[in-house]
Structure 1
Amino acid sequence: MGASNLPSGAPMLRSMCLSLTSFCLLLPTDSLRAEDWQYTLRAGAASVPRYSGSDERVVAPLLGAKVISPYGLFLDTEKGLGWAFDEDDFGLSVYIGASDVRKDRKSGFKGSDELNGMGSIKSRPALGLDGTYHMGPIILGARFEHALEKDDDDHDTGSSWNRLKLSISAPFYEGDYGKVVGSLNSQFGDSHYVRTWYGVSVAQASRSQFRTHDTRGGLVSRGAELSWSMPIDDQWSVSTVLAAQYLAGDAADSPIVERRMQTSLAGQVVYTF
């Protein structure tokens, strides 16, 4: 890094932020008004792989909260701090939060000893952009995430990266027993993303049990999700999500990947007031 200490993606970030700011200013004021503050608390548990590609599983607690203010500003423990705009057929949210992490040692609900020597991937600030478009019952979705470069960190685990998730979803059932929604998705990553999460450099290979693995950007996985939400009353509800991701391309060929099919199951109780 140079003396300015700016991440390598800084010019792109500045352009993206300026474009988003200009877009927000053009939106009609009436669309930004909300009736009141809304608060949401979530608690539950999830059975997930210890890392992407792992055949080890862990049951981890899920605790979260979200506050939505008038004019669409929100603070969410899952996404971070941001702003959301939603109309009948179009939705957009912009936020800044924290990127995912991966530890190279088993520590509580995180990491795996199988990754010993690979180095931990630390969390760093990440910018996100979510968009949805309704076509009747069909919902098209896109989520873009840019993680900033980690200052003074290892090139193999601290580079900035970009990830894109495209999805299509539709309701399967809506009635007395709640709502069931199914979706299909594809995830893509640039060369830095795939290298960070699935590559093995010469230095990493010398410290770990894995052979070297060079990677390129492209398709990372294809997946499907099935979610069920059941309202109990005006404030309480329960939700369950079953998700599967099938790793593809250089991600699937990585020596750290023990199982290409990655599944997760999560259940939560949600309280909104």
Structure 2
Amino acid sequence: MFRSLYLPLTSFCLLLPSTSLYAEDWHYSLRAGAASAPRYSGSDERVVAPLLGGEIVSPYGFFLDTQKGLGWAFDEDDFGLSVYVGASDVRKDRKSGFKGSDELNGMGSIKSRPLLGLDGTYHMGLIILGASYEHALEEDEDEHDTGSAWNRLKLSISAPFYEGDYGKVVGSLNSQFGDSNYMRTWYGVSSAQASRSKFKAYDTKGGLVSRGADLTWSLPINDEWSFTTVLAVQYLGGKAADSPIVEKRMQTSVAGQVVYSF
């Protein structure tokens, strides 16, 4: 859907309504909206970008989603699981439409590459525990700075605050972790990158990327139409916050979408 806007904005995707569950019949949905988010993780520049997407779910749990990719999902009572193959985030080292920032000039662009994902949820009464794991394949073995394979893990806990005539409000807390390749790709500055950009060299190891909170309001309009808005806050921590490319540790994003399901 909008992976190219990277971590602060793509974290919304985990909260927006998804129908990738075991269905009795074919299910289709179309999504349209807009989002305001930092231009890259750590940026103090913002971009307002359109959100357009769709999803097809088969009766056997297989789905095709413009946000995640091609996968399979099931949901039974207290436990849900989905696996998928998609495309990883990108980051450009120049401003180009809704993507990139001139502040990263000389850092080189991080290209998209095949990504394997696994999402799981477990319900404990009103509380929902969630975990999301992503593995991006190596893009180019000669591009050690921007093309290495990486792993990212997101853990979350959420609960409803309100459910009634005005829809449903859900709050969530989360923590995100990345391995050394992930941290080097998105927050590191190699000697070669330092020589081409305004940043000093910075080496980092794997660990905590950020802690955050999300607030989601979903409002059904009728049997086919619904509206969802999400406010997300991510506070960069650990080695990520110390990166010279990080201009602002507190990253805030807001998105709204209309969903048509049939």
Give the structure-1-normalised TM-score.
0.88
In 2: Cα distance, 1:34 partner to 1:249 partner: 41
RMSD between superposed Cα atoms in Å = 0.9
Residue 52 of structure 1 corresponds to 41
| 1:39 alignment counterpart | 28
Match for residue 215 of structure 1 among 204, 215, 222: 204
Structure 1 match to 2:84: 95
Q: Contact 2:22 / 2:74 at 8 angstroms: preserved in 1?
A: no
Structure 1 residues 79-132: Cα deviation after superposition (integer angstroms, max 9, x where no partner): 000000101100000000000000000000000000000000000000000000
Aligned to 2:73: 84
Choose from 58, 69, 85 the match for 2:58: 69
The one-letter amino acid paired with 1:82 is G
Match of 2:104 in 1: 115
Which residue, 236, 239, 247 being the options, matches 2:228?
Answer: 239
1:145-196 Cα shifts (integer Å, max 9, x gaps): 0000003551100000000000000000000000000000000000000000
Aligned counterparts, 1:98-177, within 5 A: 98-151=87-140, 153-177=142-166
| Partner amino acid, structure 2, of 1:85 | F
Question: Aligned with 1:155: secondary structure?
Answer: coil
> Which structure carries more relative contact order (alpha carbon 8 Å, separation 6+)?
2
Question: What amino acid sits opposite 1:90 in the alignment?
Answer: F
- Matched AA of 1:204: Q
Q: Quote the residue 2:173 is aligned against.
A: 184
Q: Give 1:70 deviation, angstroms.
A: 1.0
How far apart are residue 54 of structure 1 and its match? 0.1
Would the aligned equivalents of 2:22 and 2:73 in 1 still touch at CA under 8 Å? Answer: no
- Whether contact under 8 Å (2:22, 2:75) holds in the other structure is no
What residue ranges of structure 1 are gaps of 5+ in the alignment? 1-31
How far apart, in 2, do the equivalents of 1:126 and 1:45 lie? 25
- Aligned-pair CA distance for 1:33: 6.2
Q: Deviations over 1:29-86 (max 9, x none)?
A: xxx9631000010000000000000000000000010100011000000000000010
* Whole-Å separation in 1 of the counterparts to 2:147 and 2:176: 21
1:8-47 alignment to 2 at 5 Å? 34-47=23-36
Paired residue secondary structure (2:60)? helix
In terms of fraction of residues, the more helix-rich structure is 1
Identity %: 83
Which of the two has higher C-alpha Rg?
Answer: 1
Question: Mind listing any 5+ residue stretches in structure 2 that lack a counterpart?
Answer: 1-20
Distance in 1, Cα, partners of 2:61 & 2:82: 9
Aligned CA distance change for structure 1 residues 244 and 254 (closer, same or farther; 3 Å)? same
Distance in structure 2 (CA, Å) of the matches to 1:128 and 1:219 = 19
Aligned length: 242
Equivalence for 2:9: none
Counterpart CA distance in 1 for 2:36 and 2:120 is: 28
